[in-house]
Structure 1
Amino acid sequence: MASHLWYPLLLVAIFLLMQTSDCFIHSRAAFYPNSDENGTDIGACGFGSFGATINGGDVSAASDLYRGGVGCGACYQVRCTDTAHCSSKGVTVVITDQGSSHGTDFVLSQRAFSKMAQTADAAASLLSIGVVDIEYRRVSCSYPNKNITIKVDENSNFPHYMGFVIWYQQGIKDITAVQLCETQNFVCKLLDRSYGAVWTTTTPPSGPLQVRMLFSDDDGDETWLVPVNNIPEDWKAGETYDTGVQVNI
């Protein structure tokens, strides 16, 4: 084959290989030194005790990936790069908090940090090191047999205030906007992101309510999700309400 024919093919092959290698981003990770394997129940995302045990306790705080709260609920595959101790699979974590340590992108729960290792002995070695080189990539969140769920803030009090956090965020997109709609006249109110994953309004609508969520990605692709189930008219502070939907977007 003439050189002028195979050379472009070689460049294409190299480009595809680079794209595959670049799926993972290099960084560093630490772990919560005072955690009891799980995450924290006072995380900056506002998940409360749910944030310590979601995903089986495989959770993490993030620094830049927190993104002002937009990153809350996002899932990442994280794997350390020391081949003597680390597995090729690593661990999938959910962002539930904000924080960094020694220039890290992730501060994992002890449970998640240990799961990056090949064996129990290797996990002990990783924990003794404390901060390790890693590579990570965004992956889709999946919660089998779980629907997206609305947890109403304990301080909510109609008609003065309503706040809630969204549990079991699924797929690979971010929730970038939330509307609260009256189901009887279809009037919708755009909510404020108070902090983390907490959405609030000082003038909650009355009657049965529908929570509409906008899922967005970096490419500008946006999808409004309309739940099957509504929040009942007599909603209670501190209660959870199943939306009846699962997503894979």
Structure 2
Amino acid sequence: MSGWWAPLLVVVLVLLASAASNVAAPGEARVHHNHGKFMEGPWRPAHATFYGDHDGTGTRAGACGYKDTVAEGYGLQTVALSTAMFNGGATCGACYEVRCTESPKWCKPGAPPLVVTATNLCPPNYQQSGDNGGWCNPPREHFDLTMPAFLQIAEEKAGIVPISYRRVSCLKQGGIRYTITGNKYFNMVTVTNVGGAGDVVAVTVKGDDRVKWTPLTRNWGQVWQTGEILVGESLTFRVMTSDHRKATSWHVLPRDWQFGVTYRATKNFH
């Protein structure tokens, strides 16, 4: 192959191959991943306790705005973070790998590291000292695990155990999910099932007609708000995670979208 058109033909073939790789098979909803990957953080020391009951009662909702962590795909592998780590709700959705350390009596031998998602706040207790009951008081970094999660790495009788932890990528099935509640004049958007860094730090929305790109503000946890009238338009959301990567969910909500219904995108982080 020679001539000026040869390099051009190669480029065309590469582009066609790339396009073909993004076409879902019949009946398959392919999830597209944006470029790059979340990088794991260093191991750090902390302590872990547990809350709730053996079946996770009382742990499925909380300060991040999630309604039911089991129904929303997080299961009971979740954690309430101390104030120092919760960061006013900005850390909601982040994933951590946790292992029990330095406690042969209480750590379960051979237990694999546990991966949990931050879904709640462990509030401080200033009536007790940070080393005796006030485990979640600033500036302590502390994990209050659901009981089912805690029991995977330590004995219930321990109550509290030393751990080491690190940030890891959130591995999610399917695309990012969006649920709008509120009313025509006040929309609250809950963003769930976010992969990669997991913690959303910015959200913008765009309609297919009148609504231009509009930034949302954090209401609490991973619930975002806007007073823009969104009804009657197909909506596109763009989210940014703490590692500054962005994912755009084009027309994830149809024009006839309904309040309280969860819509799934075909894109996620990894």
Same fold (TM over 0.5): yes
Q: Are 1:30 and 1:131, in contact at CA under 8 Å, matched by a contact in 2?
A: yes
Question: d(CA) in 2 for partners of 1:162 and 1:26?
Answer: 40
Could you tell me whether the CA contact under 8 Å between 1:43 and 1:51 is conserved in 2? no
Counterpart secondary structure, 2:268? coil
User: Is 1:29 aligned to 2:48, yes or no?
Assistant: yes
Structure 1 residue 173, shift from structure 2 partner: 5.6
Q: Any unmatched runs of 5+ in structure 2?
A: 1-40, 124-132, 137-141
Mapping for residues 215-230 of structure 1, pairs under 5 Å: 215-217=241-243, 222-230=244-252
- Unmatched segments (≥5 aa) in structure 1: 1-21, 118-125
Q: Following the alignment from structure 1 to structure 2, what is the Cα–Cα distance between the partners of residues 53 and 83?
A: 35
Structure with greater proportional helix content:
1
Q: Deviations over 1:122-151 (max 9, x none)?
A: xxxx2111111111000000023x211112
Q: Does 1:147 align with 2:167?
A: no
Could you say what secondary structure the match of 2:163 adopts?
A: strand
Return the letter of the residue paired with 1:137: R
Give the Cα–Cα distance (whole angstroms) in 2 for the partners of residues 193 and 114 of structure 1: 34
The Cα of 1:31 is off from its aligned counterpart by 0.3
Distance 1:209 1:229, change over 3 A: closer
Alignment of 1:177-192 (within 5 A): 177-184=202-209, 187-192=212-217
**Matching residue of 2:93:** 73
Q: Find the aligned partners of 2:192 and 2:177 in 1 and give their Cα distance.
A: 5
Amino acid at match of 1:213: V
Aligned to 2:135: 103
Q: Which moved more, 1:89-98 or 1:43-52?
A: 43-52
Contact 1:213 1:225 in 2 (8 A): yes
Structure 2: distance between partners of 1:38 and 1:142: 24
Q: CA offsets per residue over residues 144-176 of structure 1, 9 Å max, x none? A: 3x21111222xx212x11112111110026311
Identity of aligned residues (%): 30
Structure 1 residues 172-211: aligned runs within 5 Å = 172=197, 174-184=199-209, 187-206=212-231, 207-211=233-237
Residue of structure 2 in register with 1:240 after alignment: 262
Quickly say closer, same or farther: Cα 1:38–1:136, change in 2 above 3 A. Answer: farther
Answering whether residue 150 of structure 2 is matched by residue 113 of structure 1, we say: yes
C-alpha separation between the residues in 2 aligned to 1:107 and 1:113? Answer: 9
Would you say how many aligned residue pairs link Structure 1 and Structure 2? 211
In structure 2, distance between residues paired with 1:198 and 1:97: 13
> For 1:75-130, what per-residue CA distance to the aligned partner results, in whole angstroms no more than 9, with x for missing partners?
0001111245334632100000001564251110111101114xxxxxxxx21111
- Paired amino acid for 1:56: G
Alignment-mate amino acid for residue 179 of structure 1: T
Aligned to 1:19: none
Q: Match for 2:256: what amino acid? A: D
Measure how far apart 1:236 and its partner are: 1.2
SS at match of 2:120: strand
For residues 130 and 192 of structure 1, the distance between their equivalents in structure 2, rounded to whole angstroms, comes to 38
Per-residue Cα deviation, 1:213-232 (whole angstroms, up to 9, x for no partner): 11232xxxx22211144212
Letter aligned with residue 71 of structure 1: T
Match of 1:48 among 59, 63, 67: 67
Change (3 A) 1:53 1:192: closer
Q: Provide the rounded CA distance (Å) in 1 between the counterparts of 2:201 and 2:187.
A: 19
Residue 182 of structure 1 deviates from its aligned partner by 1.6
Contact 2:72–2:193 at 8 Å: present in 1 too? no
Partners of 1:192 and 1:231 lie apart in 2 by 19
Match of 2:130 in 1: none
